[in-house]
Chain A
């Protein structure tokens, strides 16, 4: 009874606390330094039909917004702002009554900087955490913890990179990848033999695929890889940035797969202690073959689906399919292929390591 009550108390805390947090972001304006305006009335005045040089038809609207300032020294003041937006909304948007907007004021002009999006973000995060904890209990919490710790490491590495002015960029993120793998596997498996094998396989599979891919890239002279299309490049050269992004991107999938294979082989070994190293190796290969396809697909879809808006825009601006692919998807495709090679190569490596280590132990017993 007491346990039942304690459990419900925790669930209630999660639900109510989260709801308060989500609701609270609507009243969080005083925490922001930038002035925030809450829209109280909106009036759309003009509509213009547009047609660009590629015969794309669209509509542009002008909207007059009235709102109340929620923070700062002008708190409570009522302001009028003009907003123009298009029906397609690629770079602009229509605002509605109740929306909270960041604005900037200089002299008499007021500019809208953007929508305040913290409420929706916190709400979605809360939904994810609730589902995770309510459905998967302790395992869900551990998964969350490992993501949170990795996130902290990730931010620390970026701060360190900026402090170093990106000297030794690839070494830094290579080291980070090692730390990531160690931390994550330790959290999932604990300090066990299983963890050591999985870690060794993850590292060697990744190193093999990165090395092989670097060789292929060099031999083909990076033909058809447009590093200049890489988004958000500041101080790091695009090519090392691409390699680091690929390394990190494939790491999770390789760990996922190695964990599965090692777990299956350990189970097999305890079921049939007399199993030979070769049989174990073949079993590992079989498990790996079944999961490698879906895993590479996970990464492919993550890397390529994100290019949807920019690819669409290029197509609508009169570019060919081939040009659109090169400019938007060639990097994502190369990333998927390199990660795929890593995912596949990890299978024999992890099966070999696990089968050798497991059977030597049995040999010693004989």
Chain B
């Protein structure tokens, strides 16, 4: 049996043991997300526009992460709308920055890996770098939006007559509570992967100037910074969507 298969079975087993039926659904959502990511790469390889592919599959992946296995509609719908809005803002920010930074494709440090391959494949790698940046941050956006929306809908249940100003303050307060740990999830998630790269840089005595302008490192750091920015933006956005929703629900005559 292949190791990936065995590890998947172990994960499925522990997820079902701990979470029961919901655990199984969460496992399914994980693989569906992976399927979407792989599909995105295949669609881009047959010359679909990377940005359109990212937008459509990105929204689908947000829906998969947020809706599968969760049943509180107040939380999930709010989180989903907020996450899609953050995704759109992020795209507007990422497109010019990736063009400006020109960190697309590969750097000198990747030369070994590229040996013998044709690089003239007719796909714009700047657009691929935009797709990469958006896709890698989707999980963090979904997670933060869920946390804020869940906190706020619990608050609304406990205090049904809360005014929107207080709700907004509460949302920012939940954001302040989660931001520290969320940053650490992202920091460790990315820096675990950087370990090899950093040992390489240290080993070959790169100077600070070289590091600061290195294509491979800058590509990675830009991914981290975009993830951080998108998580920060998710906090007020989710809170705002929740207040709008509450206002609309109150206006509606029963």
Contacts and interface: CB of A to CB of B under 8 A. Distances in A.
B181 A296 contact: no
B122 A121 contact: no
A292 B221 contact: no
A52 B199 contact: no
B164 interface: no
A246 to B, nearest CB: 7
A135 B207 CA distance: 35
B101 A117 contact: yes
Nearest to A208: B14
B109 A102 contact: no
B3 A341 contact: no
Contacts of B4: 224-225, 330, 333-334, 337
Given A86-B119, A102-B213, A117-B103, A246 B11 contact: no
Nearest to A235: B203
A255 B181 CA distance: 7
Interface stretch (A5-13, A15-23, A73-81, A88-96): A88-96
Contact of B186 (A232, A252, A345): A252
A232 B7 contact: no
Contact of B193 (A158, A233, A259, A306): A306
Contacts of A220: 1-3, 6
Contact of B29 (A162, A293, A329): A293
Contacts of A114: 213-215
B231 to A, nearest CB: 10
B120 interface: yes
A180 B192 CA distance: 12
B74 interface: no
B34 interface: yes
A89 B193 contact: no
B87 interface: no
A253 interface: yes
Nearest to B45: A315
Interface stretch (A38-46, A62-70, A126-134, A354-362): A126-134
B118 A317 contact: yes
Interface string B121-163: 1111110110110011111101100110010000000000000
A297 B29 contact: yes
A197 B98 CA distance: 42
Interface in B82-134: 97, 100-106, 109-110, 113-114, 117-126, 128-129, 131-132
Interface in B1-37: 1-8, 10-11, 14-15, 18-20, 22-23, 25-27, 29-30, 33-34, 37
A341 B181 contact: no
Nearest to B40: A308
A293 B24 CA distance: 10
A302 B192 CA distance: 11
Nearest to A296: B30
Interface residues of B, number: 124
Contact of A217 (B3, B15, B38): B3
Contact of A251 (B44, B110, B188): B188
Interface residues of A, number: 137
A91 B44 contact: no
Contacts of B206: none
B195 interface: yes
A39 to B, nearest CB: 13
Contact of A316 (B45, B176, B213): B45
A302 B136 CA distance: 5
B122 A298 contact: no
A112 interface: no
B143 A294 contact: yes
B150 A124 contact: no
Nearest to A121: B218
A122 to B, nearest CB: 9
Output the residue of B184, B202, B228 with the most chain A CB within 10 A.
B184
B122 A89 contact: no
B194 to A, nearest CB: 8
A3 interface: no
A198 to B, nearest CB: 10
A114 B19 CA distance: 51
B187 A150 contact: yes
A115 B106 contact: no
B81 interface: no
A290 to B, nearest CB: 7
Given A223-B1, A301-B33, 13 more contacts: A91-B106, A173-B195, A216-B10, A225-B4, A231-B113, A248-B191, A250-B188, A301-B135, A303-B193, A305-B136, A312-B41, A313-B114, A313-B121
